Amino acid sequence: MKKLAFVVGLLALIIAGATAQDKVPVKFLYYADATQAGYAEDMANWDKFKAANPGIDLQMEILVNQPYHQKLSAYISAGQIPDIMTVWPTTRDSSALLQGQKLLKDLKKVLPADLLSKFSASALDVKQQTSGQISELPQSFTYTTTVYANAGLLKSLGLKVPTNYAELKALVPKLKVKGIQTLLLPDADKWPAQSCLFSTISGRLLGDEFIDAVKAHKAKFTDKSFVGALAFYQQLYTDGVIDKADVNLGYGDGPGIFASGKAALFVDGDWRVGAYLTDKSTGKALIDPAAQKDFELVNFPAIPGEKNKNSASAIAGVGLGINKDLTGAKLEAAKKVLEFYYSKETMTMKWETGAFVPARTDLSSTKLEPLAVKLPAYYKTVVKTTYVLDGALDPSVFNILNDGLQAIGLGVKTPADVAAEMQKAQDALK
Amino acid sequence: MEVVVALTLRNNAEKRRAYWSFVTPAFFLYLLVFAFPIVISILLSLSDYNGGKMFGGTPWSIIGFQQYSKLFVDPSFWLALKNNVYIVLISVFGQLPLGFILAYIIYRKIVKWGEGWQAVLYVPAIISVIVLGIMWKLVFASNGLIADIENHLLATSFSNGLGSILAGAGGFHITDGVVQQILKISDPQVIASFANPVQDLKDLILGGGYDAGHLDVFKTEMTNLLAPKWSPDFMSKQDVAMIPIMFVTLWCWTGMYLILFLANMQKIDSQIIEAARIDGANELQVMSRVIIPSLSGVLANAAILCIAGSLNTFALIWAMTAGGPMNITQVLAIYMYQNAFIGAPNFPLANAISMAIVVFSLLLIALTMYVEKKFGGKEE
């Protein structure tokens, strides 16, 4: 009996092994936030792919924020780059090596032309990617500055959404008496202040041509104009528009504080819409769909002295990339994964769950929640897009800016100090 | 005679074979797990390796001490090193003496319920460091427990002051004089945001729909607007920001050293202590003349553990502050981590930092051993 059980077990192992060998293993490091609405739909969607492709063994590892970047950086340094991974278009974190050393395939040569033709021109613009090729197909065009306004709350207090800085500043005492913050900007993670606000301030007051001039060593961060932009950022704190305490507030704390009515305005990227939509797995939303009509998505108010009115910082969004060393069956399997991800069905699902507004242009949906519908309308109000500074500057420079914005917010450094440190780092790149 | 020599030789050869057959596997394991990574780390710190496959990828070469020269002129390195020194100091001169004194008190039964106190003091050492870090972060945060208590007290004081001003004015009579009195007890930063403080505040109050029938609403809203606010500004000041971290470090691991010292104290012959007491020694003299010399070796070893642990400290500080704000609470391990894994990685620099940690540790440990040899007592 024991011998029979042993033989059966051994046969089962051999069959399982043989079957497994027929499957093409594909290692996929995927960036997804399990706390964001849409995660359950996302995972169910990937299960559909696995069921429809029994010949592909899709081994997904799902992480978010810094743990994602740290894991990917560790894989890269170990020479074990995943077959497919979520990639940023520039030198942000783990993508610095992927883009900088061109460790990914040029998707223009890999994906079918008829799929690529359905994406917007800005998504396919190689100038948006540090590698100078389509290392990742941007799933969206990301507006890193979006002001979420609780218009209903403001209206109940006899106030309105500000359109210029004077109106924004005038809100401060009127909101503070009610115990409400004017503009929420959690910056403990350092990058939000630069990416979600200061990039737009810089674009409005200076334009991309200033940044290009600095990189070409024809202008300096210590010039009056850039110091003036930092001084305006400082003014937001001294005028009480942004609370100093926000510098130590975690990035993940923002949506809850805003949704609970403790802040009238919240500046973050357009990707944050997903935080407020209904999580289908629980049926709960931070802002109920019925209440979403009382919220607006607007641009940052007009800044005194701005050159580029109604501009906002934006950049090609993240997307999936393929390891450049993939060939044969693995490459074919990876192509199938990407074609599935960028399909009409998946991109529509992402749109409906508030993950992003897809760069794919042939989509429509009747299932969008009110706040998700407002995003394309917001994009139309942006007359011009400008650089996101962590996509345009070298990491050694924008890291100093990130720290410097925290220091300015806390009143520990002056705009001139921060500008000088940035210029020193820029000079070291000569 | 030849037989004895032959037998001895055979025994010695057998002993050598036995020795090497037991030692060799462990030796190779040591080389693989400890020595090889250290050698690679040293090589990387001297190289221009830029990520990707180490072998078979983009070629890299040894370029000398460039990373070290970059390191030694980097103010962030010296700041991180200084912060590590603070941690070492609180560990060696805080955890050890406090752990020792508490162990002595329990050992000598100076307090009752000794086993209970042991357990209570040891609990922080067994809880996950990340959990402790997040817990204390919430205590020290600008919207945390301490800030909440302070701001509640300030708000109550302001509200009472406002009540007194209105009572003095005979009710809800807003004149320039009353507004000036209110401004005197208000937050100066809020006053600075008004162009004309007296007029602006008067307009705000008179235009806010307040009246004598709703004084509570008036007091609440004026408190929200004008009451001085306490915020943990010390958490954004260099050096001072390390104080909460040092406090938590002391709180976390003193219990561990308490257990270590207590266990070793219990090995001391109690008759020596009784003899000292009979000879008229008080508790302080027993501790300083009997216990400490007996445990000098343990103290030295504990100091070495302290130093090694302090220089490697990462998780607690990462959970509390992530080295921020503005990197002012950054320690060497966090500085190394940020260079290796955050932003565009610089692996040679990160390895140079790790070598600096090793060298600094060895220096401090050598100093500790020298002090123990010079001033330590003889343990039985």
Contact flag B221-A395 (C-beta cutoff 8 Å):
no
pLDDT recorded at residue B285: 87
Q: Residue A408: left (phi > 0), alpha (psi -120 to 50), or beta?
A: alpha
Of the pLDDT bands very low, low, confident and very high (cuts 50, 70, 90), residue B56 is: low
The model's pLDDT over B118-149, given as tens digits with 9 standing for 90+, comes to: 999 999 999 999 999 999 999 998 888 999 99
Given a cut of 70, whether residue B9 has pLDDT beyond it is no
Local mean pLDDT, 10-residue blocks, chain A (430 residues) = 74 61 90 87 95 95 89 85 94 84 93 93 87 94 95 96 97 94 94 96 97 96 98 96 91 92 96 87 88 95 96 94 95 97 95 88 88 89 92 90 94 96 92
pLDDT recorded at residue B13: 87
Global confidence as pTM: 0.82
Q: How far is CA A28 from the centre of its chain?
A: 19
Distance (Å) from the alpha carbon of A167 to chain B's nearest alpha carbon: 14
> Least CA distance to A425: which residue of chain B?
B74
Distance (Å) from the alpha carbon of B121 to chain A's nearest alpha carbon: 31
A-interface mutation test, from B73, B193, B206, most A Cβ less than 10 A away? B193
Candidates A100, A248, A403; nearest CB to B141: A248
Cβ of residue B322 closer than 8 Å to a chain A Cβ: yes
**Alpha-carbon torsion, ordered A36, A37, A40, A43, to 10 deg:** -60
Cβ of residue B207 closer than 8 Å to a chain A Cβ: no
A199 three-class SS: helix
Cβ of residue B208 closer than 8 Å to a chain A Cβ: yes
**In contact, A27 and A83? CB cutoff 8 Å:** yes
Cβ of residue A177 closer than 8 Å to a chain B Cβ: yes
Contact flag B344-A91 (C-beta cutoff 8 Å):
yes
Instruction: Give me the DSSP letters along A234-285.
Output: HHHHHTTSB-GGGGGS-GGGHHHHHHTTSEEEEEE-GGGGGGGS-BTTTTB-
Given a cut of 80, whether residue B3 has pLDDT beyond it is no
In sequence order, the β-bridge partners of residue A59 are A27
**Neighbour tally for B311: CB within 10 Å:** 23
Q: Residue B242: left (phi > 0), alpha (psi -120 to 50), or beta?
A: alpha
Contact flag A79-B53 (C-beta cutoff 8 Å):
yes
Cβ of residue B204 closer than 8 Å to a chain A Cβ: yes
Contact flag A101-B58 (C-beta cutoff 8 Å):
yes
Distance (Å) from the alpha carbon of A210 to chain B's nearest alpha carbon: 24
Instruction: Give me the CATH code for the A23-138+318-355 domain, please.
Output: 3.40.190.10
Distance (Å) from the alpha carbon of A87 to chain B's nearest alpha carbon: 13
Give contacts of A174 with chain B, Cβ < 8 Å.
Answer: 204
> Least CA distance to A390: which residue of chain B?
B343
Q: How far is CA B188 from the centre of its chain?
A: 34
Among the ranges given (A402-411, B133-142, B163-172, B365-374), the one the predictor scored with the smallest mean pLDDT: B365-374
**In contact, A92 and A393? CB cutoff 8 Å:** no
Q: Do the two domains A23-138+318-355 and A144-313+381-427 of this chain adopt the same fold?
A: yes
Q: How far apart are the C-alpha atoms of B117 and B102, rounded to whole Å?
A: 9
Residue scoring higher pLDDT (B247 or A22) = B247
Radius of gyration of chain B measured on its C-alpha atoms: 31
Q: What is the ipTM of this complex?
A: 0.78
pLDDT recorded at residue B380: 45
> Least CA distance to A410: which residue of chain B?
B236
pLDDT recorded at residue B256: 93
B-interface mutation test, from A73, A177, A184, most B Cβ less than 10 A away? A177
Candidates A73, A176, A406; nearest CB to B345: A73
The model's pLDDT over A271-330, given as tens digits with 9 standing for 90+, comes to: 899 889 888 778 889 999 999 999 999 999 999 999 999 999 999 899 999 999 999 999
Contact flag B54-A395 (C-beta cutoff 8 Å):
no
Give contacts of B327 with chain A, Cβ < 8 Å.
Answer: 403
Pick the CATH number of A144-313+381-427 from 3.40.190.10, 3.30.390.30, 1.20.58.220, 3.40.50.300: 3.40.190.10
Question: What is the interface size between A and B, counted as CB pairs within 8 Å?
Answer: 101
**Neighbour tally for A217: CB within 10 Å:** 11
The model's pLDDT over B100-115, given as tens digits with 9 standing for 90+, comes to: 999 999 998 888 888 8
Phi and psi, residue B6, nearest 5°: -60, -45
Contact flag A190-B324 (C-beta cutoff 8 Å):
yes
Average pLDDT (B208-222) is 89
**In contact, A352 and A372? CB cutoff 8 Å:** yes
Domain ranges of chain A: 23-138+318-355, 144-313+381-427
For residue B249, give the DSSP letter.
H
B-interface mutation test, from A68, A69, A76, A77, most B Cβ less than 10 A away? A77
Given a cut of 90, whether residue B12 has pLDDT beyond it is no
Tracing tokens 């508790």 back to the chain, one arrives at B283
**In contact, A191 and A395? CB cutoff 8 Å:** no
**In contact, A358 and A140? CB cutoff 8 Å:** yes
**In contact, A253 and A275? CB cutoff 8 Å:** no
Please enumerate in sequence order all residues whose Cβ is within 8 A of that of A305, keeping only pairs 6 or more positions apart, or say none.
A205, A228
Average pLDDT (B255-276) is 90
Q: What is the mean pLDDT of chain B?
A: 88
Distance (Å) from the alpha carbon of B238 to chain A's nearest alpha carbon: 10
Average pLDDT (B61-69) is 90
In A293-309, which positions are buried (b, 16+ CB within 10 angstroms) versus exposed (e)?
A: ebbbbbbbbbbeebebe
Cβ of residue B268 closer than 8 Å to a chain A Cβ: no
Structure tokens at A413: 């450094």
pLDDT recorded at residue A430: 80
- Residue B266: which of B243, B296, B291, B245 has the closest Cα? B291
Helix A415-427 and helix A224-238, axial crossing angle in degrees, nearest 10: 140
Given a cut of 60, whether residue B275 has pLDDT beyond it is yes
> Least CA distance to A236: which residue of chain B?
B193
Phi and psi, residue A315, nearest 5°: -155, 155
Q: How far apart are the C-alpha atoms of A223 and A426, rounded to whole Å?
A: 13
The model's pLDDT over A248-275, given as tens digits with 9 standing for 90+, comes to: 888 888 999 999 999 999 999 998 998 8
Average pLDDT (B190-218) is 89
**In contact, A197 and A410? CB cutoff 8 Å:** no
Cβ of residue A330 closer than 8 Å to a chain B Cβ: no
Strands A319-322 and A84-87: antiparallel
Given a cut of 50, whether residue B20 has pLDDT beyond it is yes
